[in-house]
Structure 1
Amino acid sequence: MKDKQNKNEWLKTLAFVVVITVAIRTFLFTPVSVDGASMEPTLHNREKIIVSKTINWIGEIHRGDIVIIKDSEEKVNYVKRVIGLPGETIEMENDHLRINGKEIDETYLTEAKKFTSQHGTKLTEDFGPIAIPDDHYFVMGDNRPNSMDSRGVAPFSLGFISEKQIIGKSKFVIFPLQNIRMTY
């Protein structure tokens, strides 16, 4: 009798752990694999990141956030950085980002800009001004020459990203273990 009671308690505990794990992955956090080099040097191919999914009900999306985007047509996820917010006008000229006419410092690109300026190349081709529609975002990869993002025309571009396409924000790298760090 006691063995059966212990077994039932153990099964209840296991069921509780499974329910909590599913709830956490569904509503709070989920692991995502980085696929490709479009976010180099910030994120690397095959790194595993933890994504906060709370933006859908308690969070907000800000410029500079690294977000995971669900592409409904291809059933894949993209990892990109939010550059422009709904209703803004964005343009790029000589590697200088301007939002609504004001220059924005992209500190996360400091090393990449040093490299390109030393080699007489641009990190980002000029574009714009482009008006971002309401309820949409303009995203780009940190590895600008090798990123499919909001620049350009489909199918070679993601275009503007609706809030519904954003799964969550990257919080930190968890794998490989020697690369554990916060993401910005």
Structure 2
Amino acid sequence: MVSRKQKKSLIREYVEAIAIAILLALFIRTFIVQAFKIPSGSMLPTLKIGDHLLVNKFSYGLRLPFTGALLVPWNKPERGDVIVFKFPKDRSVDYIKRVVGVAGDTVTIKDKHVFINGEAVADPHAHFTSPAIMSANAGPRDNFGPVTVPKDSVFVMGDNRDNSYDGRFWGFVDQRDILGKAFILYWSWDLEQPLFSVDRMTSVRWSRIGDLIH
């Protein structure tokens, strides 16, 4: 027979265990890794709609719990990094794009080709769905700049260049708004299929699970 004192001790142990688990989860989410999912095709073919990924929040520095403010920076984003950040036009929304230019770089796009500091650069992740070239007067999609990336900022673009709302349209990302670097896919399936349906379950992209993000 369990005494009242033993019951209280058992309840206390459960409460303490739950509290520790919650604090550990908050610590991990704030400082180490956070999960995100891809809702749009702006990063195709690198990232597909329905991909679920982990972001290393420790990549660029130590952040203040709950607010996400950068306390101690130690690394800076590099060209080619896939990052998650607070959208400059609405900081309640998180975006994911690829770093194309870093602080001090002069970025120019001519007929879809990227130039950094006046030199054409390898752009292996760029994907185009339209052969048409838009003039600068028609919009910044295919012809843009030159612009110089400000201090402590980055210039980002989606890999799906013809279908990405990115730095060409709204400017730069402050490094303080970068939440982390995407590094691995832990799940992937077709979001267009109804949840809890057979079609959704059979749409799991098993071959993508565990892929590193480059």
- State TM-score, norm by structure 1: 0.83
User: Residue 70 of structure 2 corresponds to which residue in structure 1?
Assistant: none
Q: 1:105 to 1:122 in 2, by over 3 A?
A: farther
| Equivalent position to 2:125, from 92, 108, 115 | 108
Cα distance per residue 1:144-166 (max 9 Å; x no partner): 01101111xxxxx2311111221
User: Residue 78 of structure 1 corresponds to which residue in structure 2?
Assistant: 95
RMSD of equivalent CA atoms:
2.2
Larger Rg: 2
User: Residue 19 of structure 1 corresponds to which residue in structure 2?
Assistant: 23
- State TM-score, norm by structure 2: 0.72
In structure 1, the gaps of 5 or more residues are: 152-156
User: Residue 154 of structure 1 corresponds to which residue in structure 2?
Assistant: none
- Say how many residue pairs are matched: 173
Question: What secondary structure, in the 3-state scheme, does the structure 2 residue paired with 1:182 have?
Answer: coil
User: Residue 61 of structure 1 corresponds to which residue in structure 2?
Assistant: 77
> Matched residues in 1 for 2:30 and 2:155: separation?
26
| Equivalent position to 1:132, from 149, 153, 177 | 149
Question: What secondary structure, in the 3-state scheme, does the structure 1 residue paired with 2:28 have?
Answer: helix
Question: What secondary structure, in the 3-state scheme, does the structure 1 residue paired with 2:156 have?
Answer: strand
User: Residue 43 of structure 1 corresponds to which residue in structure 2?
Assistant: 47
User: Residue 52 of structure 1 corresponds to which residue in structure 2?
Assistant: 56
In structure 2, the gaps of 5 or more residues are: 63-73, 135-140, 189-203
Cα distance per residue 1:35-60 (max 9 Å; x no partner): 21100000111221111111233433
User: Residue 212 of structure 2 corresponds to which residue in structure 1?
Assistant: 182
User: Residue 144 of structure 1 corresponds to which residue in structure 2?
Assistant: 161
